[in-house]
Chains A and B, each alone.
Chain A
Amino acid sequence: QVQLVQSGAEVNNPGASVKVSCRTSGYTFTDYYIHWVRRAPGQGLQWMGWINPKSGGTQLLRNFQGRVTMTRDTSLVTVNLHLNRLISDDTAIYYCARDPHYWGQGTLVTVSS
């Protein structure tokens, strides 16, 4: 069955970088884009962008351009979200999703000094 399993919770200082991983299984990795969505405290769901696991191409929400990159490792069937120059407003749960039907369990990223 399709599964997306994310890496564990992170605590980081402002200005640092963080990587959140999403390991996939149960389907052909290169057949589906992977999207990233975040849920900050007191905010709604926010789509961040997607990565095409076949080509590595990405599309990012304008707000995140320059600070977010998405990569993939086809040998590990894993996609990664890299968030740089962290600020307190980046404190959120980050989700990967293959499509509306299949989501990862979420990764809490806390930015605090």
Chain B
Amino acid sequence: DIQMTQSPSSVSASVGDRVTITCRASQGISNSLGWYQEKPGTPPKLLVYAASRLKSGVPSRFSGSGSGTIFTLTITSLQPEDSAIYYCQQWYSTSWTFGQGTKVEIQ
């Protein structure tokens, strides 16, 4: 099974700050990776797919990069509405795997 290790587990930053979240796969997954934003009471919202493609409607301050085993989600200029839990997910294998999640808090 492919394991996804996400870090940090939480981050506290100010409005306008740059935030970077990292996800490492236990084996190469090409670009079969997405990033989600989760807020209470709603399903996870896909922000980035294929490692670096921004889903339509997602603000351009979100970006993804990486390939193979190391991936990053960057939020440039953090906004109050970005307070949420963020997950990476791989779909390279027939079974999905999620990272442990990163809680982003606004100071």
Q: How large is the interface on B (under 10, 10 to 19, 20 to 34, 35 or more residues)?
A: 20 to 34
Which among A35, A44, A49, A99 is the interface contact of B87 at CB below 8 angstroms?
A: A44
**Listed stretches A7-15, A74-82, A102-110; interface member:** A102-110
Closest-by-CB residue of B relative to A105 is: B43
Contact residues in B for A106 (Cβ distance below 8 Å): 43
Contact residues, A40-94 vs B (CB, 8 A): 44-47, 49-50, 59, 61
CB pair A45–B87 under 8 Å, yes or no, is yes
Which residues of chain A are near B44, meaning CB under 8 Å?
45, 95, 103
Which residues of chain A come closer than 8 Å to B43, judged between CB atoms? 95, 103-106
- B34, B43, B94, B100, most chain A CB atoms within 10 A: B43
Residue of A nearest to B43 (CB): A103
Task: Please tell me the number of chain A residues within 8 Å of chain B, measured between CB atoms.
Answer: 19
Q: Give the nearest-CB partner of B32 in chain A.
A: A100
**Minimal beta-carbon separation of B7 from chain A (angstroms):** 13
Is A37 an interface residue, CB under 8 A from the partner? yes
Q: List 19 A-B contacts (CB under 8 A).
A: A35-B96, A39-B38, A44-B85, A44-B87, A44-B100, A44-B101, A45-B36, A45-B38, A45-B44, A45-B87, A47-B98, A59-B94, A59-B95, A61-B95, A95-B43, A100-B89, A101-B46, A101-B49, A105-B43
Chain B residues in contact with chain A, CB under 8 A?
34, 36, 38, 43-44, 46, 49, 55, 85, 87, 89, 91, 94-101
Q: Which 10 A-B pairs have the closest CB atoms?
A: A47-B96, A45-B98, A103-B43, A44-B101, A100-B34, A100-B46, A44-B100, A106-B43, A45-B87, A100-B49
